[in-house]
Amino acid sequence: MREFFSKIFIDGGDPAETKEADAMLKKAGYHGLDGQTTNPTLIAKRLLNAAAAEVGVGAVRGSPFTAHPSSNCVAVTSSLHTLRDGARKDSPRRALTSAPAPQQITASDASAYYRKTVEEIGRIIPEGQISIQVIGDPAKLTVDEMLSQARDRITWIPNAVIKFPVTKTGLKAAEIFCQEGPVNMTLAFSQEQAAAVYAATKAHNYDVFISPFVGRLDDRGENGMDVVANILEMYRELGDGHVQVLTASVRNVKHILYALWIKSDVITIPFKVFKEWAGQNFTLPPKDFLYDPPTGEAGEPGLTEIEYRELTLDKEWTEYDLFHDLTDVGLTRFWEDWKGIVE
């Protein structure tokens, strides 16, 4: 059986994509997907879209999904307030077709569907590690609230990994929870954040991942793959190997090939990019591979280098500078997207 050095995850929230990606790898002679990172906002959008389909209005405006709900989706959407209220009318059929399109779903409905989706993904890749995110207002979410969510979500499936943000609150929670279950520190953009993650999780009893986001650095003209390479170099030179580097926010096949070439522990790939790579027969980088970052649409110059920093890994995690503006931007954007869907 063929194997990659890196574990291959799919990034998304549609079990149909998980199933198709897993089948593509197996058809090509690989053992299949090693795991998945989930986005609860995309999953909630699928539920909202399914609710709209149930009331006969088609896809929700702005949703990237088509209206073809699974049996799980129908089961959950039947509990939505819009549909439940409509079902009290004289004719269920008339009520469903005349009900207004739902604009939001409740937090309990979103959480229930998130769990059902994760459970379905877990059945498709029962040996794969599946990241489940803690959710809350980044300005208000406390360590105790993160831990409460984590302790609930780790019970959803046997192979759950809990995603915490690389923030002071997130690391405080992860420092505790890494002794109770696997953790994935997400929205990382700097080598110093990676040093803090390493230090905070030294007492781990389970797997620890850090997810540097490549594409969002590329978007503003910085070479996001440099951060992945720098973290790998630092961990391999100074670390004990307990933190796995999970290359995230992958935008193109070049990202995949470079991540494979530098032997990233894990690569999580959006389905669209995964299909493009599959269309190239899961091509591998040659030994003399040279990473040539894509230029902008107007042919702008290449991306700015992010230089390696000489750091140590022997300090307390609180002594490292955790701040990166893209971490804050990412958390704010996620929360705004979530509140746009969930009441």
The secondary structure of 253-267 as a DSSP string is HHHHHHHHHTT-SEE
Which tokens hold the place of 107?
């937090």
Residue 324, SS3?
A: coil
What pLDDT, on the 0 to 100 scale, is given for residue 96?
Answer: 42
DSSP type of residue 292: -
Closest listed residue to residue 245, CA positions, set 194, 293, 314, 310: 194
Closest listed residue to residue 282, CA positions, set 304, 262, 253, 259: 253
What pLDDT, on the 0 to 100 scale, is given for residue 82?
Answer: 39
What pLDDT, on the 0 to 100 scale, is given for residue 53?
Answer: 74
Domain boundaries, the chain: 7-44+127-341
Residues 47, 70 contacting (CB under 8 angstroms): no
What pLDDT, on the 0 to 100 scale, is given for residue 73?
Answer: 44
CA–CA dist 341, 337 (Å, integer): 7
| Catalytic position from the list 45, 116, 163, 172 | 163
What is the pTM for the complete model shown?
A: 0.87
**Burial (CB count <10 Å: 0-12, 13-18, 19+), residue 288:** exposed
| The one-letter amino acid at 58 | G
Residues 214, 196 contacting (CB under 8 angstroms): no
What pLDDT, on the 0 to 100 scale, is given for residue 301?
Answer: 65
What pLDDT, on the 0 to 100 scale, is given for residue 146?
Answer: 99
CATH number of 7-44+127-341: 3.20.20.70
C-alpha gyration radius of the chain: 21
Q: Is 163 part of the annotated catalytic residue set?
A: yes
Q: One digit per residue, pLDDT tens: the chain, 343 residues? A: 889 999 999 999 999 999 999 999 999 999 999 999 999 999 999 988 887 776 554 444 444 333 333 444 444 444 444 334 433 333 344 344 455 666 789 999 999 999 999 999 999 999 999 999 999 999 999 999 999 999 999 999 999 999 999 999 999 999 999 999 999 999 999 999 999 999 999 999 999 999 999 999 999 999 999 999 999 999 999 999 999 999 999 999 999 999 999 999 999 999 999 999 999 999 999 999 999 886 655 555 679 999 999 999 999 999 999 999 999 999 999 999 999 999 8
Instruction: Cite the DSSP H helix spans in the chain.
Output: 15-27, 40-54, 71-77, 81-86, 92-98, 107-124, 143-153, 168-177, 191-200, 214-219, 224-238, 253-261, 271-279, 325-341
Tell me the C-alpha to C-alpha distance, in Å, between residue 85 and each of 57, 79, 211.
Answer: 17, 9, 42
What pLDDT, on the 0 to 100 scale, is given for residue 51?
Answer: 75
Residues 148, 126 contacting (CB under 8 angstroms): no
Residues 88, 61 contacting (CB under 8 angstroms): no
Please spell the DSSP secondary structure of 205-228, one letter per residue: SS-EEEEEBHHHHHHTTB-HHHHH
CA–CA dist 171, 41 (Å, integer): 22
Q: How many CA atoms lie within 13 A of 212 on its CB side?
A: 29
Please spell the DSSP secondary structure of 136-160, one letter per residue: S-TTT--HHHHHHHHHHHTTTSTTE
